[in-house]
Structure 1
Amino acid sequence: MNTSAPVRDQALLDRLPQAQRERLAYIDFRLYFLGELRRIDVADRFGTGPAAATRDIAQYRDMAPSNLELDNSDKIYRPTEQFVPLFEHAPQRVLTALSRGFGEGIGEELRPMVRCEFPIALAVPSMSVLAPITRAIHRGKVLRMTYTSVESGRTEREIVPTALVNNGTRWHVRAYDRRRNGFRDFVLTRMENPVLLENSPIEDKEKVDQDVQWNRIIELELVPHPRHPRREVVMMDYGMPDGVLRVKVRAANAGYMLRRWTIDCSPDHSLEGLEYALWLTDPLALYGASNAHLAPGYVDPKGGAETRPITAM
C-alpha cells in the first residue's frame, strides 16, 4: 500500500464537525492498521445505530473512493491496494491504541486491538495522589504534602506543581518547592496526603515561566556509536538515513532522556557495550542542565565526572 501520499480533501475535512472527523478517522484507522471494517465497529465505538454507521462509511467512501471495497463473502470492508490514509496518524497514538484500545474499556480493563506486550510498570502512582496533583496543575494551585526523599527523609512540603513528567521508568511532577526556594522534581510514589491550598496565592517566581531549566530547550546531535559493530543497524533503528539524529529536549529532562536511552555522553565515546548504540557528539550541549549528571559518561567541564545523587530517579 502507498503510505507516503499526502492527506486528501483536507479542506473538506477541516469543515466537518469534530465528532464527524473522529468517526471518519476511526474508519481510516481500522482500514489502515487492522485491514477490515464492519458497520458494527463504528456503531459500537461511538454509540450510534447501524444506519448512522452506514452514513459515516458512505461519507468516507465519497471522500476516498479508492480506499475501501466491500468483501461480499462476509460483508466486511477491506482496504484496497491503492489505499492512502485520509488522516495523518501519529505513531505514538497509533501504538497506544493498538496496545491499550482506542478509548474502549473502563477501570483497569485494557482491550488491545492486536496481540501486544509492553513493559510492566513497577512504579505506579496512587490515583489518590495523582488526582490532587493534576487538579493543582490545571487550576494553578499550591499543594501541601508529606514527601520522602533520599536526601532529606520525610518532610512536609508546599509545592506549586507545573507539569507531569514520565522519565521512562516512573512519573514525577515538576514543581516549585517553597522549602528549597526553587524548581524541583518530585516522584509521585514518594508523596503522601496531598491537599490543595485553595487560598494560598502563587508568587510570580513560582510560575512555570520562571522555571529556567524547564523553558530552556537543548538540541542534541546523536550519531551511531563509533564502537558499535553495525552502524547501519543503528541508523535503521533510529530512522537516521543521514547518520544523524537531532533531538530537542527541555534542559530539565535531558539527563532523564539520555539515561533512559543509554546514550554515551562521554567526550571520547569511551563507554563500551552494545547498549550504547548512540553517542552525543557535543557533551557541552548539556552544560548548565540541572540533571546532566544522570547522562551516562557525562563529565562536567568545570569539575570532572559528576557524582551527585540521583534525586528524582
Structure 2
Amino acid sequence: MRARLKHIDDRLIWFGFLRLTDHASKFGISDVQGKIDIKTYRNLSDTPPPERKPGPPVAGAAPVGQYVRPSKFTPIFDSPGTLDDLFTTRLEDVGVDMALSIERVLPPTHSVDPDRVRPLLAAIELKESCKLHYQSMTSLAAVERVVCPHALVKASGRWHVRAFDFARKRFIDFSLSRVLGSEPFPAQTAVPANLDDDWFATVSVELVPHPKLSTAQRHIIGREFKMDDGQLVVQTRRALLFYLLDEMRLLAAVRRGEKDAADVPIWIRNFRHVASELSIMDAQRDATAHL
C-alpha cells in the first residue's frame, strides 16, 4: 500500500495528474482497489486532488478517473524524490537483519526540478506540444523551443525526453536538467510518435570478448556478460545507440574505428554496421547543430 501511495505522490509531483487506469495497470490491481488507494491518499493529504464524480462532462474539469494536482500541493511523503521514483519505490524504513558491508560509488547527479519539467512530462502522456525555455550546450544563451515529446529516457546518467523540435524540423533529445521552464502549448499541432524513424529502427550490436585477450580471459568475459557461445547480441533503438556505446565506453573507439582504443574487455563483432548506424545519427546532429 505504501508503494502505491508513493506512486500517486510521484505522479502528481512530476506529471501533475494521475489516471486511475494507469495506476491500476502499474500495480496489477483492479480499478476498485485503485479507487481505494486514491481515496486513502486523499484522506491522508492536506492538499488532496479533487475528485470528479460520474456524470456529464464539465467544462474545464478533468475527465472522470483523472486526478489533477491542485495549484497548492504538498506531497504526503516528505523525503526528496527523483524521477527514478516513478519506476522504483524506496522504502527506507525496511531494514536488513544482517551485517553486510555494502558501498556504492555515486557520481554527482543531474538535478531535475519537477516544477520546471512538469508540463513537458504531462505533454508526453497527453500527446500534445509544449513550449520550453531550454539551455543547450550549442547556444550561448537559453532559447525558447516548441516541441512535441513522446518518450522519457534515462541514459548516460541523465534523464532525457525524445521530442520533435519544430525549429529543427526533426526528432531530437532534450536533457531534463537543462530545461529552465516549460508550459503547455496545445495550439501547435502534435506530431505523431510513429514518424520518429530513428526511434522505431533497431540496431543489433554483436558483443564479443576483445580479441586482444587471452583464451582464459575471453572465457571469463563471456561468462561475466552471459554470452552465448562467446557472443551477446544487444538490440537497441537507433536513436539510443549513442547512449549504449557511451555507457559501454565504446563510443570513441567506434567513431575512430580503432578497436585497440577500447578500454573495456569487449568489442563489437559487427563493427562496420554499428559504425554506419552511428554515423547516421552523428550526421543528423551536425546538420542541425547551428539551429
- Give the TM-score taking structure 2 as reference length: 0.58
C-alpha deviation, 1:256, in angstroms: 0.9
Give the letter for the 2:112 counterpart: P
Give the letter for the 1:160 counterpart: C
RMSD value, Cα: 3.4
Deviations 1:174-196 (A, max 9, x none): 10001111111111111111001
Helix, strand or coil at the partner of 2:117: helix
Moved more, 135-144 or 259-268: 259-268
Helix, strand or coil at the partner of 1:219: strand
Helix, strand or coil at the partner of 2:260: coil
Aligned counterparts, 1:217-228, within 5 A: 217-228=202-213
State how far apart, in whole Å, the 2-side matches of 1:104 and 1:190 are: 26
Contact 2:134 2:181 in 1 (8 A): no
Relative to structure 1, the CA distance from residue 285 to residue 193 in structure 2 (aligned partners, 3 Å threshold; closer, same or farther) is same
Determine the structure 2 residue equivalent to 1:160: 148
Relative to structure 1, the CA distance from residue 183 to residue 212 in structure 2 (aligned partners, 3 Å threshold; closer, same or farther) is same
State how far apart, in whole Å, the 1-side matches of 2:192 and 2:220 are: 44
C-alpha deviation, 1:284, in angstroms: 2.6
Deviations 1:103-138 (A, max 9, x none): 464xxxx45665654434521311123322221000
Contact 1:121 1:169 in 2 (8 A): no
Determine the structure 2 residue equivalent to 1:66: none
Contact 1:219 1:248 in 2 (8 A): yes
2:234 is the alignment partner of 1:234: no
Determine the structure 2 residue equivalent to 1:181: 169
Contact 2:210 2:218 in 1 (8 A): yes
Relative to structure 1, the CA distance from residue 255 to residue 224 in structure 2 (aligned partners, 3 Å threshold; closer, same or farther) is same
State how far apart, in whole Å, the 2-side matches of 1:190 and 1:282 are: 35
2:200 is the alignment partner of 1:200: no
2:155 is the alignment partner of 1:139: no
Determine the structure 2 residue equivalent to 1:253: 240
Determine the structure 1 residue equivalent to 2:198: 213
Aligned counterparts, 1:60-99, within 5 A: none
Give the letter for the 2:188 counterpart: S
State how far apart, in whole Å, the 1-side matches of 2:264 and 2:110 are: 25
C-alpha deviation, 1:289, in angstroms: 3.7
Contact 1:254 1:291 in 2 (8 A): no
Contact 1:144 1:197 in 2 (8 A): yes
C-alpha deviation, 1:19, in angstroms: 4.4
Structure 2 alignment gaps of length 5 or more? 1-26, 31-39, 41-86
Contact 1:252 1:291 in 2 (8 A): no
Relative to structure 1, the CA distance from residue 103 to residue 259 in structure 2 (aligned partners, 3 Å threshold; closer, same or farther) is closer
Determine the structure 1 residue equivalent to 2:47: none
State how far apart, in whole Å, the 1-side matches of 2:117 and 2:279 are: 25
C-alpha deviation, 1:212, in angstroms: 1.1
Helix, strand or coil at the partner of 1:161: strand
Deviations 1:280-310 (A, max 9, x none): 11223232446765xxxxxx9xxxxxx969x
Helix, strand or coil at the partner of 2:145: strand
Higher RCO by CA contacts (8 Å cutoff, separation 6 or greater):
2
State how far apart, in whole Å, the 2-side matches of 1:226 and 1:189 are: 39
| Sequence identity percentage | 24
2:260 is the alignment partner of 1:270: yes
2:168 is the alignment partner of 1:171: no
2:271 is the alignment partner of 1:283: yes
Determine the structure 2 residue equivalent to 1:190: 178
Give the letter for the 2:249 counterpart: T
Structure 1 alignment gaps of length 5 or more? 1-16, 21-46, 48-100, 294-299, 301-306
**Higher Cα Rg, which structure:** 1
Contact 1:252 1:289 in 2 (8 A): no
C-alpha deviation, 1:246, in angstroms: 0.2
Give the letter for the 1:242 counterpart: D
Contact 1:221 1:281 in 2 (8 A): yes
Determine the structure 2 residue equivalent to 1:28: none
The count of residues paired between Structure 1 and Structure 2 equals 196
C-alpha deviation, 1:242, in angstroms: 1.0
